[in-house]
Chain A
Amino acid sequence: MNKGDGIYPDDLKYTREHEWISVQGNVGSIGITHYAQEELGDIVYVEVPKTGTPVVAGEEFGTVESVKAVSEIYAPVSGEVVATNPALAEHPETINKDPYGEGWLIKIRLADLEDVKGLMSVAEYRKFIEDEAN
Chain B
Amino acid sequence: MQETAGSLKKTPLHGLFKEMGARLVDFAGWELPVQFTSVLDEHRAVREAAGLFDVSHMGEIEVRGPGALALVQRLTCNDAARLVPGRAQYSVLTTERGTFVDDILVYRRGGRDFLLVVNAANTAKDFAWIAPGASGDAEVIDASARFAQLAIQGPRSEAILQECTRIPLAGMKSYHFAEVDVRGVPALVSRTGYTGEDGFEIYLSPGAAVDLYRALIQAGRSLGLKPCGLGARDTLRLEAAMPLYGNDVDDTTTVLEAGLGRLVRFEKGEFAGREALGRQKAAGLDRILAGFDLQERGIARHGHAAIAQGREIGRVTSGTLSPTLKKSIGLAYLPPRLAATGTRFAVAIREREVAATVVPTPFYQRPR
Contacts and interface: CB of A to CB of B under 8 A. Distances in A.
- The contact size tier of chain A is 10 to 19
Contacts of A70: 299, 301
Contact of A67 (B40, B297, B350): B40
A67 B231 contact: yes
Given A67-B231, A67-B235, A68-B234, A42 B350 contact: no
A41 B298 contact: no
A67 B298 contact: no
A44 B299 contact: yes
Interface in B32-59: 34-35, 38-40, 43
Interface in A47-82: 47, 63, 65-68, 70
Contact of A66 (B39, B297, B350): B39
A67 to B, nearest CB: 5
B86 interface: no
B298 A68 contact: no
Contacts, number: 37
A89 interface: yes
B99 interface: no
> Which has the most chain B C-beta neighbours within 10 Å: A65, A66, A67, A70?
A67
B316 to A, nearest CB: 13
A65 B43 CA distance: 17
A45 interface: yes
A47 B231 CA distance: 22
A117 to B, nearest CB: 31
Nearest to B41: A42
B133 interface: no
B323 interface: yes
Interface of A: 41-42, 44-45, 47, 63, 65-68, 70, 89
Given A45-B321, A68-B39, 18 more contacts: A41-B23, A41-B35, A42-B38, A42-B39, A42-B40, A44-B40, A45-B297, A45-B298, A45-B299, A47-B297, A63-B350, A65-B299, A67-B39, A67-B235, A67-B323, A68-B234, A70-B301, A89-B297
